[in-house]
Chain A
């Protein structure tokens, strides 16, 4: 299980802490990598910038992606990710505050596997995290090509 990494792309430090706490609360033991903006996320995934030294054979099992990010937005990240052979099959769950229809539609069009709204209620947030974690980490088999 340890090599199954969860990449959380989240710029808000409050949300970051709450996310980590939610994952912990749900007894998900996977390693969690945090990227604080779109650039950082892409650097991690493609081994560029400050992740130039990274072993690219290890890819995250699940990406939890916020949409509203500094520098490069979540949707751009998703687009790049899906257009690259190495990353195009990684399950991406968009977790965002926005309920705008256009965001939902765009996310799915760009190949998001799921779209979850960040609830204000923390309990609901934990529940949402638990469900996406369980589903994508346990139920979904990553294609063997990876």
Chain B
């Protein structure tokens, strides 16, 4: 009943909101449209006015322009006429010109002055002279712009205008120049000078100046600006071009605000105001119409609602009777204990189930007591404390604790302990509802309780069993995980987390593939099969993690069934066997090494009993493994070596190793062989030494090789000393040879030269010119050969001599050599450029030979130059400091660079440049002897550069 009523109440505001919305939209729409139209109209009106005003301004501008142009034309024509008179009259006397000019100045108001400018551009005559004295004899060509105007007027024979920014009395002016030609003879100019402001103000009507601001510019230079009578409107600014003789001015006019406002009609503003008022009124009327329609409809609806309500009430009264009967039946047949109280807590209803469970009869409690007697006092006190802590009010222990929440329309359901009449107890779940009448006033409370003894014990049992399972799984010493059908973790053992390095993270509920993103595809297929019911297992399997590490596993996948008998997921049992696998691999690796080794690898215990015996041992000692394992190692020992074993055992027992101990052992066939032994302790996992590992190497071959090496070394030393002796002898011989070369080869040369000279001196009268020429050729040849011998000796001496290094000042050395060159072979225009203070650690005598050769060469190969430049300096190269000698002489072809430093190789014919072909070979040897390097660069006709490093 009350529910139906509430629906009605809700309906009304919904309806109102809907209709009310409609009544507002329409008036707003009408008002806005009218405002929009008004604005449109206002906008057009304004534009039309603006356009008309622009037109007016434009007309004024044209009028100002044309009146200035007309005035200017008149003015110029006057001057032209004056010049015309000059041409016709010829040789105008000063007096006549004066009166002419005076008349013009008086007649035409615009002139400041009229003058005659001579052919050179100087103002000679001027009218009126008074006040213009400064301008007289003024040279107009002194300023480039004016000079151009003078030139233009003269050359084009045209009247030309210009401006002068400083008139005598301070204002801005302009002038017109008329060239005077008498029968093609140029006789100067007539010049008319005006103040621009005066000129323009004369040209235009004064009322124009009241309504507009007028400005005239010549190329941005302001010539004129009218006095500002009022504020101007920049918006209507207008430009015009004024064309005057050979010049154009820019005219800028702006209407004053006064002009603008006198033009404005204000009609537009009135239109705007009227439009806005009209739109507001229209909107209001529309709204009023809508509102009255809505009210009428409202009354009709309410009337209909009232009729319905009356018939419904009648129906309800009848059904209430039926309901009460039904309620009692339900209450008493229920298994729930249902107890109702009045607002004060006195029990007014106590159903059959309550009687049964609590042991009280309904008559015993109804109207006599509150439900407090059914409860444990301590629980009530506890609950009162909790409720007080939760809310703002203090809740007293008593009936209030059951209904406190329910009274505030909160759900009240709590577990309690009921106390039976006989004092026994049982747990119940009690929910309390507040009963209210139609006005919402509390009429009582209803408590429904259910016995939850069984539920409670079931829950405890379940929790205990779950906990047992959880503990069991968690502490299972194997990696176990239970996953659901989507492979999400349900449960894992602790070992699972540690084996897969998952730490303490909570993976329950997360997908297996999310936890292990690098699971291989083939495993995913196995999981699929497991989920379909297969039981799968593998003893050894591996997978590669994303970081490249390999994990070995033994695993088993089993599906598990849920309570509906369907596959609920899978259980993984896994064991990480990576470490075991590594150990196995290592062991098999070691086994392979041991069995394939050529060395004998033997293990034995401290009693000397052989435990293992590899293939190498079989070969070296001749015993097979079967023969010797279990026997004593002493079978391998010659008698005199038996004591070695005692020593070894003592050392190894102390944890020491013996390395490469050389001794001898006996083979099975009795042959004694040299061996190298390495012995080390064998420890078990507790680091207790349990035996000896012995590696024996047959060193028969090695021994043989050693003695061979010793023998070879001895003979080698012998050979070396023999060779050294031979070499020394050869060196001695060579020295003797060069000594005799130096001495004996010179003597015949000297004889040839000397006697040729004697012939020339003593018997010259008996020789003709040819004869004398032959003799001088003999002399030249002998000189050449002497030089050759000297060079060869030098070369051989360089090769033989020992190095004595000191810190040598190369710059000073080069300076000395160059000075000597200039003294002994003087030439003109020779420039030596020598970098100062270059030092090097070298043999001063040898380096002098090298530098002499380089500088002699440079001097020699520049001998055909007009100007000689030879430089010595240093530069940083990749390999350190590098010295250089450069010249600008004959140079050489880089194609022959390979021959440059070879003895007796020359790149120039003797007829061109003298030389032995030994000089650079000597330089090369000196530098090489120092462990240095030399290189050359050159180009035919452009000089040569030699770079060396010591």
Contact assessment for B754 and A68 in the assembled complex, using a CB-CB cutoff below 8 Å = no
Q: Is A14 an interface residue (CB 8 A)?
A: yes
Q: In the bound complex, how far is the Cα of B783 from the Cα of A123, in angstroms?
A: 12
Closest chain A residue, CB of each to CB of B785: A120
Which residue on chain A has the smallest CB distance to residue B740? A68
Residue of B nearest to A118 (CB): B750
Known: A15-B751, A18-B754, A123-B757. A118 touches B746 (CB 8 A): yes
B751 touches A96 (CB 8 A): no
Say which one of A30-38, A47-55, A97-105, A133-141 lies at the interface with B: A97-105
Closest to B801 in A: A101
Q: Does A142 contact B (CB under 8 A)?
A: no
Cβ–Cβ contact B751 & A18, under 8 A:
yes
Digitize A96-135: 1 where CB-to-B-CB distance is under 8 Å, 0 elsewhere.
Answer: 1111110000000000000000111111010000000000
A-side contacts of B751, CB under 8 Å = 12, 14-15, 18
A1-50 interface (Cβ within 8 A of B): 12, 14-15, 17-18, 21
Shortest CB-to-CB span from A69 to chain B, Å, is 11
Q: Is the CB of A15 within 8 A of B742?
A: no
With the chains together, A18 CA to B790 CA distance in Å? 21
The smallest beta-carbon distance between B760 and chain A, in angstroms, is 10
B742: chain A residues within 8 A (beta carbon): 97-100
Complex CA gap A96/B750 in Å reads: 12
A120 near B783 (CB under 8 angstroms)? yes
The total of chain A residues at the interface (CB under 8 A) is 21
Chain B residues in 8 Å Cβ range of A123: 757
Q: A12-B747, A15-B747 are in contact. Are A100 and B739 (CB under 8 A)?
A: yes
Q: For the complex, what is the distance from the CA of A95 to the CA of B572, rounded to whole Å?
A: 114
Other-chain residue from A14, A67, A98, A101 in contact with B755 (beta carbon distance below 8 A)? A14
Which of B740, B743, B753, B797 is within 8 Å of A120, CB to CB? B753
B749 at the A interface (CB under 8 A) = yes
Write out, one digit per residue, whether chain B residues 729-753 have a CB within 8 A of any chain A CB (1) or not (0): 0000000001110111011111101
Nearest residue, chain B, Cβ from A99: B742
List of A residues within 8 angstroms of B349 by Cβ: none
Within 8 A of A (CB), among B84-121: none
Question: 8 Å CB contacts to A: which residues of B782-817?
Answer: 782-783, 785-786, 790, 793, 797
Q: Say if the beta carbon of B758 comes within 8 Å of chain A.
A: yes
Within the complex, the shortest CB–CB distance from A76 to chain B, in Å, comes to: 16
Shortest beta-carbon distance, A71 to chain B, in Å? 16
What residues on B are CB-neighbors of A101 within 8 Å? 797
A123 to B754: give the CA distance in the assembly, Å.
8
- Alpha-carbon gap, A120 to B785, bound state (A): 9
**B753 and A97 form a contact (CB under 8 A):** no
Instruction: Indicate with 1 or 0, residue by residue over B748-783, a CB within 8 angstroms of chain A CB atoms.
Output: 111101111110000000000000000000010011
Q: Give Cα A12 to B746, complex, Å.
A: 11
Closest chain B CB from A124 CB (angstroms): 9
Q: A99-B790, A120-B749, A121-B753 are in contact. Are A68 and B744 (CB under 8 A)?
A: yes
Q: Could you say which residues of chain B place their CB within 8 Å of the CB of A67?
A: 743
Docked-complex contact A68 and B753, CB < 8 angstroms: no
Per-residue CB contact flags for chain B residues 27-56 toward chain A (1 = under 8 Å, else 0) read 000000000000000000000000000000
Chain B residues, Cβ within 8 Å of A100:
738-739, 742
B909 nearest CB across to chain A (Å): 23
User: In the bound complex, how far is the Cα of B756 from the Cα of A33, in angstroms?
Assistant: 25
What residues of A have a CB within 8 angstroms of the CB of B749 in the complex?
Answer: 120
Q: Which of A14, A21, A99, A121 contacts B747 (CB 8 A)?
A: A14
**Bound-state Cα–Cα, A123 to B757, Å:** 8
Give the complex CA separation of A121 and B751 in angstroms: 9
Q: Are A68 and B750 in contact (CB under 8 A)?
A: no
Cβ–Cβ < 8 Å partners of B757 in chain A: 122-123
A18–B743 touching, CB < 8 Å = no
> Which of B743, B748, B758, B779 is within 8 Å of A98, CB to CB?
B743
Shortest Cβ distance from B793 into A: residue: A99
Residues of B within 8 A of A68 (CB): 740, 743-744
User: What residues of B have a CB within 8 angstroms of the CB of A99 in the complex?
Assistant: 742, 790, 793
User: A17, A96, A98: which has the most chain B beta carbons within 10 Å?
Assistant: A98
Find out whether the CB atom of A120 lies under 8 angstroms from the CB atom of B739.
no
B750 touches A14 (CB 8 A): yes
Alpha-carbon separation in the docked complex, A98 to B743 (Å)? 5
Contact B754 A14 (CB under 8 A): yes
Name the A residues within 8 Å of B756 (CB-CB): 122
Least CB distance from A64 to B in Å reads 15
- Name the residue among A14, A67, A123 with the largest chain B CB count within 10 angstroms: A14
What would be 10 A-B contacts, judged by CB atoms less than 8 Å apart? A68-B743, A68-B744, A97-B742, A97-B750, A100-B738, A101-B797, A120-B746, A120-B750, A122-B754, A122-B757
> Contacts A119-B750, A120-B749, A121-B786 given; 4 further ones with Cβ under 8 A?
A14-B754, A67-B743, A97-B743, A99-B793
**A positions within 8 Å CB-CB of B:** 12, 14-15, 17-18, 21, 67-68, 96-101, 118-123, 125
3 closest A-B pairs by beta carbon, nearest first, are: A14-B751, A120-B786, A122-B757
